[in-house]
A and B are shown apart, each in its own frame.
Chain A
């Protein structure tokens, strides 16, 4: 039995106003799996994946990510160790505006992993051409379209050779005609066997790429199914309601 990459055990997180973001969440993410998390806004799906790399803390429960166990008050050292091995792609890209595309990608390998510059740059160029944007290497984030910026962000998180990639609504901030170029890049990654947890509303992507779909509502996991079951014949009433709303 291979250990899962993420295993969450009864995670609870409550915000100060009594809002429950995570309500007793237990789940696993297996190696080489693509897990899509869906749910209405405010259902806690972003909070959930942000706990996976320590951007959010939780009030009770236990979490194991890439073999490192953290509790409610984790040590900085452990959290950083997790972050070095888990990449994250954000809705708003969050590239560093004062650095060129190439510098954005090589900063972490050079400063965190202590790779030498030439090696890091070679790897970065390889990743950029994999994303189809090697010509933009010398430009600055602001000169790129949203879709290109998001592909740079993916390349940046790949540059540290992560064992797991987290995507927090990666296409929600994009113009509709730019969505596919990002999804295509993600499809390729999935084919290459990258373990991914993706929060998204992109039904076609989920249908085609996901191994499992997790549906969340008000901080709870309502249903975990294969995409085939989830989209055609969801087990839970609430899942079906949600699907009716997003698929017209």
Chain B
């Protein structure tokens, strides 16, 4: 037993020697980095365990999760978050052969109207105006509904850009290039300030919807480019083969191009989703109390004044956690849909 342990330690030491201390330069770099890491870790854990005052987080968990949603109705956003979490778990752990798996995409689509129904109320539930939505719930809602709308829109734009009809082609190209040339923040301003000006007075679109529209307009241009990248990876000869079997353009798109394009573009699309999640925090400066917004108003409370570090570290942890889950789900989808590597 002891000999075995000795052997293992020996092996480890050898390994370290080989990978970190082969030359004097290597030794210097290794020591330098290790000492920096050591100092950082010590300082951070000192702050984390001794100096930081976590009451600001502990006391306000409901605010972080639901914003200023009426307290007696909090079960509604909670229920929605629970549905989402169960969907994530189901997606990650159902085997690819299961019949249930075929229903998952529909469940993911259905989760958005369910979210609207639960948050807004109306049918049997007391209505809650969108200005009371907030916190993590609103962040996730913004991300998911923008993605849900931007996805088909982006696909249409990408195929429109390849269209033989010049008018459609130029419209899509100009749209994509323009939207990619404008910073997101100005599109969001446009959504909040200008969309109401263009609409007749009697039509009032609420802030949440306006920001979803703005995000959709923005992200769909990027999604279109990702899809186009996938389209270019498919050899023209495959399209010729499909044509010579008598398929029309729609059938070629539906059965030959889209399934391959989505598989090729999935990593890029995941990137867009993660980016979108983080970009929703921009709405905090445009009057939505999503995760960052609610934290900012918390910090304005005299009781918690000066506790920036705790709140922002906590926020970073939440964003990191959600991004990780998204990455996991994407990896899982990639693994289970990739029957064969296309390229």
A95 to B260, CA, bound (A): 13
Determine the chain A residues whose CB is within 8 A of the CB of B248 once the complex forms: 76, 80
Determine the chain A residues whose CB is within 8 A of the CB of B340 once the complex forms: 97-98, 140-143
Determine the chain A residues whose CB is within 8 A of the CB of B235 once the complex forms: 94
Indicate if the CB atoms of A53 and B244 lie closer than 8 Å.
Answer: yes
A108 to B247, CA, bound (A): 7
> Interface code A77-100, partner B: CB below 8 Å = 1, 0 otherwise?
000100110111010101111100
Residue of B nearest to A54 (CB): B243
Indicate if the CB atoms of A112 and B247 lie closer than 8 Å.
Answer: yes
Q: Is the CB of A43 closer than 8 A to any CB of chain B?
A: no
Determine the chain B residues whose CB is within 8 A of the CB of A98 once the complex forms: 259-260, 263, 339-340, 342
Indicate if the CB atoms of B237 and A90 lie closer than 8 Å.
Answer: yes
Indicate if the CB atoms of A160 and B246 lie closer than 8 Å.
Answer: yes
Determine the chain A residues whose CB is within 8 A of the CB of B342 once the complex forms: 97-98
Determine the chain A residues whose CB is within 8 A of the CB of B125 once the complex forms: none
A107 to B245, CA, bound (A): 9
Return the contact of A90 from the options B241, B255, B259 (Cβ within 8 A).
Answer: B241
Determine the chain B residues whose CB is within 8 A of the CB of A141 once the complex forms: 340
Q: Give residues of chain A (204-238) contacting chain B, Cβ–Cβ below 8 Å.
A: none
Residue of B nearest to A87 (CB): B244
Q: Is the CB of A151 closer than 8 A to any CB of chain B?
A: no
Determine the chain A residues whose CB is within 8 A of the CB of B247 once the complex forms: 108, 111-112
Q: How far is the CB of B233 from chain A (nearest CB, A)?
A: 11
Determine the chain A residues whose CB is within 8 A of the CB of B243 once the complex forms: 54-55, 83
Return the contact of B238 from the options A55, A94, A143, A160 (Cβ within 8 A).
Answer: A94
Indicate if the CB atoms of A108 and B260 lie closer than 8 Å.
Answer: no
Total contacts A-B at CB 8 Å: 65
Q: Give residues of chain A (117-167) contacting chain B, Cβ–Cβ below 8 Å.
A: 140-143, 153, 156-157, 160
Indicate if the CB atoms of B260 and A97 lie closer than 8 Å.
Answer: yes
Q: Is the CB of B256 closer than 8 A to any CB of chain A?
A: yes
Q: How far is the CB of B184 from chain A (nearest CB, A)?
A: 34
Q: Is the CB of B177 closer than 8 A to any CB of chain A?
A: no
Q: Is the CB of B251 closer than 8 A to any CB of chain A?
A: yes
Q: Give residues of chain A (23-82) contacting chain B, Cβ–Cβ below 8 Å.
A: 53-55, 76, 80
Q: How far is the CB of A140 from chain B (nearest CB, A)?
A: 4
Q: Is the CB of B240 closer than 8 A to any CB of chain A?
A: yes
Indicate if the CB atoms of A83 and B255 lie closer than 8 Å.
Answer: no
Most A CB within 10 A of own CB, among B240, B245, B259, B342: B245
Q: How far is the CB of B263 from chain A (nearest CB, A)?
A: 7
Return the contact of B245 from the options A97, A142, A143, A157 (Cβ within 8 A).
Answer: A157
Determine the chain A residues whose CB is within 8 A of the CB of B242 once the complex forms: 96
Q: Give residues of chain B (76-121) contacting chain A, Cβ–Cβ below 8 Å.
A: none
Determine the chain B residues whose CB is within 8 A of the CB of A92 once the complex forms: 237
Indicate if the CB atoms of A55 and B240 lie closer than 8 Å.
Answer: yes
A94 to B260, CA, bound (A): 14
Q: How far is the CB of A156 from chain B (nearest CB, A)?
A: 7
Q: How far is the CB of B297 from chain A (nearest CB, A)?
A: 49
A92 to B240, CA, bound (A): 11
A108 to B260, CA, bound (A): 17
Residue of A nearest to B248 (CB): A80
Determine the chain B residues whose CB is within 8 A of the CB of A95 once the complex forms: 241
Determine the chain A residues whose CB is within 8 A of the CB of B244 once the complex forms: 53, 55, 83, 86-88, 157
Residue of B nearest to A93 (CB): B241
Determine the chain A residues whose CB is within 8 A of the CB of B339 once the complex forms: 98, 140
Indicate if the CB atoms of A112 and B237 lie closer than 8 Å.
Answer: no
Determine the chain A residues whose CB is within 8 A of the CB of B237 once the complex forms: 90, 92, 94
Residue of B nearest to A53 (CB): B244
Indicate if the CB atoms of B255 and A107 lie closer than 8 Å.
Answer: yes
Determine the chain A residues whose CB is within 8 A of the CB of B240 once the complex forms: 55, 90, 94
Q: How far is the CB of B37 from chain A (nearest CB, A)?
A: 45
Residue of A nearest to B245 (CB): A108
A170 to B242, CA, bound (A): 17
Residue of A nearest to B242 (CB): A96
Indicate if the CB atoms of B245 and A83 lie closer than 8 Å.
Answer: yes
A55 to B246, CA, bound (A): 11
A157 to B241, CA, bound (A): 9
A76 to B251, CA, bound (A): 14
A-B interface, 5 closest residue pairs, ranked by CB to CB distance from nearest: A94-B241, A84-B246, A88-B244, A108-B245, A83-B246
Interchain residue pairs with CB less than 8 A apart (7): A83-B243, A83-B246, A84-B246, A90-B241, A98-B342, A140-B340, A153-B241
Q: Footprint of B on A, CB under 8 Å?
A: 53-55, 76, 80, 83-84, 86-88, 90, 92, 94-98, 107-108, 111-112, 140-143, 153, 156-157, 160
Q: Footprint of A on B, CB under 8 Å?
A: 235, 237-238, 240-248, 251, 255-256, 259-260, 263, 339-342
Known A53-B244, A76-B248; 13 more pairs at CB < 8 Å: A54-B243, A80-B246, A88-B241, A90-B240, A94-B235, A95-B241, A97-B340, A98-B340, A111-B247, A111-B251, A112-B251, A142-B341, A160-B245
